[in-house]
């Protein structure tokens, strides 16, 4: 999501929010939180490039 926050008529502050989601079924069994967050991070950057 991207948006501009208008502080005043002369000042606008651009910002963006990005989030990712991963499913544990994509990780090896047994999975770890590092595996899950690594997969979410990987998918996040894949989608940013797309």
**Residue keyed to tokens 């002369």:** 10
| Residue 16: predicted pLDDT | 81
* CB contact set of 6 (below 8 Å; sequence gap of 6+): 12, 13
**H-run or E-run covering 29:** none
Q: Which domain holds residue 43?
A: 21-50
Q: Is residue 5 part of a domain?
A: no
Q: Is residue 2 part of a domain?
A: no
Q: Is residue 40 part of a domain?
A: yes
| Residue 23: predicted pLDDT | 62
- Higher pLDDT, residue 49 or 26: 49
Q: Dig out the tokens for 6 from the structure.
A: 């208008």
pLDDT tens digits for range 9-41? 788 888 888 776 656 677 778 888 898 888 888
Q: Is residue 29 part of a domain?
A: yes
Question: Are 23 and 14 a contacting pair, CB within 8 Å?
Answer: no
Total domains present in the chain: 1
Residue 30: asked if its preceding bond is cis (omega within 30°), the reply is yes
The structure's pTM equals 0.48
């Amino acid at each position: 999501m991207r948006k501009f926050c208008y502080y005043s008529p002369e000042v606008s502050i651009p910002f963006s929010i990005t989030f990712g989601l991963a499913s544990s079924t994509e990780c090896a069994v047994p999975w770890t939180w590092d595996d899950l967050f690594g997969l979410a991070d990987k998918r996040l950057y894949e989608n940013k490039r797309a």
